[in-house]
Structure 1
């Protein structure tokens, strides 16, 4: 049984992968090297005739179900009697870092860093971070240079070494390292923001502006992290109008008014971000940037880097927020909830964290607790939409559309000036109203959503499919769904709608192709399987039609749909 930290590179050919917050920008990387596989054979020596097998297996089981706290307890107990077992040390060290228990991880890191263990690169990185926090920059430099310069180490080493040279009053050497790497255009997005931060730390803000501009040129849409870095830079350097613009541009393009709410408020109140850069914070920014860059490729490896970033800079609220989001995605809800609750007591992301706390309660089937939080927030800020929209969506997700529609309606009454971002509210509201068979009101919401966001694929699909089911506007529906399908060619529901409108228009050959494609994309959807059965029947493939209907029936469709499918199985169309 293997545990992966960061994979050791097996090939000299770089992989090209997408930077988390940039669209269509690819960065060649060898898949992650500073943490690695721990072979089961290195731990199997624990399982001897010494009465420890139960704890070992219990620890492994706890680890397999992501119960890190229990796993840590079991492996700590094992290590107390097997002090020199490197495999147990490796496993425990990994779990401690992943869980954010860095104080306990530190002694193990110093031990493992002196070995040839496969997790030694991570341990050496950790030890170098400890030295940086202690102000022992030369010791940190000596340690980090011992890490193999490949994979993710290539990037982390470069950023951290640049900071260490700058900390040792050798800015020219530090910035030269980054400039050398930025000769490769693919690396500009990674290194330019850190060249900007290092330049600012060295008292060269004009150079910082240049490097931030270089970074911005790499993106079609600026992500949250780069927005934050540049916005805070402008705030620190008394350029509040520029900071305001970059935060507002992010809100407009991302349709998200919540993330930088506090940043906008503090600028408008003339209380800008004034926390100066430090070496610790700069290194933390580098680690977090790498974490966000690999988030889609490997959540667990990204979590480790985020934990190390927070270790370096414990006040790193943005990294904590994103870490909790990652933990939520990995279904580590209790860990995420603990972080959100702490953030809800801080100024910067308090509002967003409270929304996230309610979301976690929703995931944990504690709707009453979630509703209590969201109603209190809605009362606290009578102009805010998010608490009511989130509450409506929680009820919609439970098919309680009457309650959902009520909250969506309350949210709509708070809007004075409709903007493109409001399409989401209208879409959710329309969906619930449609399920309540209040079609005129639902249609009104969908049409209003398309006025605000004319090419929005989800709205185009929902409205178009609804019209198809009602047997009206078939040609218009077809054009709308084709537009949606061009934007979302991998959406099973949209491709199903395309095949279904072709079926209703009598274009059975094209309908077969698209409905077969839709089933391949979403094989567990009963409606798509039923539709494919219908079109098979129309083209004379009656045996296959029966099979698709039987399959649709096995996928637990809704009661009304179940009755219809059973009739088709019995008598056909």
Structure 2
């Protein structure tokens, strides 16, 4: 079936290609029109659409010379090379394009980056100037064109005021990038205002700029002021207690490890690497993972020591289901320090779960955790969450309890640990303890929609506090719009209150959000039955029986309903 889909997709590509290029171009594409060339080209394009760059590279590499007649081939082959981190081959190909007068934005960017990396700023500037060759840049290209040329000029400028003035030509929509670059200019020139500029940037709460506490602390480390660096980190970690970059830097400082070689604001190549990271992060946030990886690989080329680049790259690969490649990068990240080691280990365990290797995943992370001589509270909490997710509820309770015994109610993990343990208690039939934990979590942080949902749904299932549950679920629904679980709980509470018509509306919406959830579909079937839509109810109950995720207990209940209809005792 998978092969048939692939063949069908290939045929569609071919039809689209010839419908858009027409017969007029055929005489210019003689070498392209042969069957094997056609197959390689369209297989390469299809591989790119599937984020399979290893195969796209393999197919497109066989079409050497096609760039002379087919411009789209250039972009596709460049994307394959950079996505596979074949920077040197991409450089060679870019120079070939230049000789043929076929250079484009990407080829000039790649050559310019090569010279920048090798500290040949005048030569890099020559290629960065050519980025605007076609005068038809998109928004991202315009940003990079201005950034790269500004920093090429800054390399020759001694007066900070002139350097700062170069940033004035940035469009208002890029205000945060402008602020960040302004910050790096002050850092580069070691301005007396550098600390103030950092503080001004970090007071902006509209965007997550937490990583710039790293650069702020790093600035003082490079100046030999470890006390101020630690003070900045401690402030930052109160706001962002789980930030990887900050936690690892703090440990490295405590261990007197020199970790300041990750970034140097006086090195223009490393500044540009950070700009590429910002670009990649923005693209990743819009699910454009292949474009994100393109700029991440350029960032990593300019500054291979910065682990932060690798973490985003691994996440991107995971999101496009390139699990083995993601796992490979996480194994490299494990070497970057104890915080990165634990983070990467958790991700590898999750990848193993995605590969349906649950037993291997459980053993892997359990072994990693046991080898930690004195695990932090964060790591202990993470392991408890992992055990809960793998339905090792009794074991998870032990680790949640260990965390809660060591922290106060104002600790950032308190509400999470009480919620997690509350779930584990409920799943092990310890309802009274579960209820206490869930209420404790809400007493510290009342507006937690998922805690409210879990508690209220549990009450509804047990026939307790139905009216209060409905009120709580309505509040949760207002806090977290369009969440299938909460909408289902709300509908089910109305069902229990015999508001069958209203229940049906909410449960139908829940099915739209969660069409493959057995419980949600079963609830909707019940609501249909009570609204005298018996034929539709039986349809949904039958559907529940055929879902792979339906457990045996629910199957037995549904089978009874299909035979006898919905009885009061089955509610």
User: Deviation at 1:192?
Assistant: 0.5
Relative to structure 1, the CA distance from residue 479 to residue 568 in structure 2 (aligned partners, 3 Å threshold; closer, same or farther) is: same
Could you say what secondary structure the match of 2:211 adopts?
helix
Higher fraction of helix: 2
Give me the whole-angstrom Cα distance separating, in 2, the residues matched to 1:169 and 1:88. 40
In the alignment, structure 1 residue 158 sits paired with structure 2 residue 146: yes
Give me the whole-angstrom Cα distance separating, in 2, the residues matched to 1:150 and 1:114. 25
Relative to structure 1, the CA distance from residue 44 to residue 423 in structure 2 (aligned partners, 3 Å threshold; closer, same or farther) is: farther
Contact 1:158–1:177 (CA under 8 A) maintained in structure 2? no
Q: Which has the higher contact order (CA 8 A, sep 6+)?
A: 1
Could you say what secondary structure the match of 1:218 adopts?
coil
Specify the alignment match of 1:25 in structure 2: none
Comparing 213-222 with 315-324, greater Cα deviation is found at 213-222
How many residues in Structure 1 have an aligned counterpart in Structure 2? 530
User: Deviation at 1:286?
Assistant: 0.9
Specify the alignment match of 2:5 in structure 1: none
CA offsets 1:445-477 (integer angstroms, 9 cap, x no match): 323433443322211111110111000022332
User: Deviation at 1:65?
Assistant: 4.6
Relative to structure 1, the CA distance from residue 259 to residue 555 in structure 2 (aligned partners, 3 Å threshold; closer, same or farther) is: farther
Could you say what secondary structure the match of 1:345 adopts?
helix
Could you say what secondary structure the match of 1:112 adopts?
helix
Contact 1:375–1:387 (CA under 8 A) maintained in structure 2? no
Relative to structure 1, the CA distance from residue 240 to residue 504 in structure 2 (aligned partners, 3 Å threshold; closer, same or farther) is: farther
Specify the alignment match of 1:13 in structure 2: none
In the alignment, structure 1 residue 109 sits paired with structure 2 residue 94: yes
Relative to structure 1, the CA distance from residue 475 to residue 237 in structure 2 (aligned partners, 3 Å threshold; closer, same or farther) is: farther
Give me the whole-angstrom Cα distance separating, in 2, the residues matched to 1:63 and 1:150. 21
Specify the alignment match of 1:233 in structure 2: 219
In the alignment, structure 1 residue 483 sits paired with structure 2 residue 475: yes
Give me the whole-angstrom Cα distance separating, in 1, the residues matched to 2:62 and 2:519. 52
Specify the alignment match of 1:260 in structure 2: 246
CA RMSD of aligned residues (A): 3.3
Selected match of 1:569 from 553, 562, 565: 562
Relative to structure 1, the CA distance from residue 388 to residue 546 in structure 2 (aligned partners, 3 Å threshold; closer, same or farther) is: same
Could you say what secondary structure the match of 2:516 adopts?
coil
User: Deviation at 1:50?
Assistant: 6.9
Give me the whole-angstrom Cα distance separating, in 2, the residues matched to 1:254 and 1:517. 36
Contact 2:47–2:55 (CA under 8 A) maintained in structure 1? yes
Specify the alignment match of 2:551 in structure 1: 558
**Residues 59-458 of structure 1: pairs in structure 2 closer than 5 A:** 59=44, 62-63=47-48, 65-79=50-64, 86=70, 87-112=72-97, 120-148=104-132, 149-169=137-157, 171-181=160-170, 184=172, 186-206=173-193, 208-220=194-206, 222-237=208-223, 240=226, 243-244=229-230, 246-256=232-242, 258-269=244-255, 273-275=259-261, 276-277=264-265, 278-297=267-286, 298-347=288-337, 349-366=340-357, 367-368=359-360, 371-385=363-377, 389-398=381-390, 401=391, 403-414=392-403, 415-418=405-408, 419-458=411-450
Give me the whole-angstrom Cα distance separating, in 1, the residues matched to 2:223 and 2:199. 16
CA offsets 1:372-410 (integer angstroms, 9 cap, x no match): 454333432333355555555555445xx3x34314413
User: Deviation at 1:205?
Assistant: 4.6
Could you say what secondary structure the match of 2:474 adopts?
helix
Could you say what secondary structure the match of 1:326 adopts?
helix
Contact 1:389–1:407 (CA under 8 A) maintained in structure 2? no
Specify the alignment match of 1:30 in structure 2: none
Contact 1:106–1:127 (CA under 8 A) maintained in structure 2? yes
CA offsets 1:412-434 (integer angstroms, 9 cap, x no match): 32541142324334433333432
Give me the whole-angstrom Cα distance separating, in 1, the residues matched to 2:195 and 2:170. 19
User: Deviation at 1:224?
Assistant: 3.9
Give me the whole-angstrom Cα distance separating, in 2, the residues matched to 1:323 and 1:289. 13
Could you say what secondary structure the match of 1:349 adopts?
helix
CA offsets 1:51-76 (integer angstroms, 9 cap, x no match): 55565565456545544334323433
Give me the whole-angstrom Cα distance separating, in 1, the residues matched to 2:252 and 2:522. 55
Give me the whole-angstrom Cα distance separating, in 1, the residues matched to 2:283 and 2:427. 39
User: Deviation at 1:177?
Assistant: 2.6
- Which of 1 and 2 has greater Rg? 2
User: Deviation at 1:102?
Assistant: 1.1
TM (normalized to structure 1)?
0.82
CA offsets 1:163-187 (integer angstroms, 9 cap, x no match): 11111225544422323327x2x42
Specify the alignment match of 1:519 in structure 2: 511
Contact 1:405–1:429 (CA under 8 A) maintained in structure 2? no
Comparing 352-361 with 464-473, greater Cα deviation is found at 352-361
Selected match of 1:499 from 491, 509, 521: 491
Give me the whole-angstrom Cα distance separating, in 1, the residues matched to 2:492 and 2:552. 21
Relative to structure 1, the CA distance from residue 521 to residue 359 in structure 2 (aligned partners, 3 Å threshold; closer, same or farther) is: closer
Specify the alignment match of 2:3 in structure 1: none
User: Deviation at 1:257?
Assistant: 6.0
Relative to structure 1, the CA distance from residue 229 to residue 374 in structure 2 (aligned partners, 3 Å threshold; closer, same or farther) is: farther
Could you say what secondary structure the match of 1:405 adopts?
helix
Give me the whole-angstrom Cα distance separating, in 2, the residues matched to 1:492 and 1:428. 20
Give me the whole-angstrom Cα distance separating, in 1, the residues matched to 2:340 and 2:421. 27
Relative to structure 1, the CA distance from residue 234 to residue 475 in structure 2 (aligned partners, 3 Å threshold; closer, same or farther) is: farther
Specify the alignment match of 1:8 in structure 2: none
CA offsets 1:459-501 (integer angstroms, 9 cap, x no match): 1111110111000022332232223212211211011111211
User: Deviation at 1:553?
Assistant: 3.7
Give me the whole-angstrom Cα distance separating, in 1, the residues matched to 2:493 and 2:157. 68
TM (normalized to structure 2)?
0.82
Runs of at least 5 residues in structure 1 that lack an aligned partner in the other structure: 3-37
User: Deviation at 1:305?
Assistant: 1.2
Could you say what secondary structure the match of 1:141 adopts?
helix
Specify the alignment match of 2:13 in structure 1: none
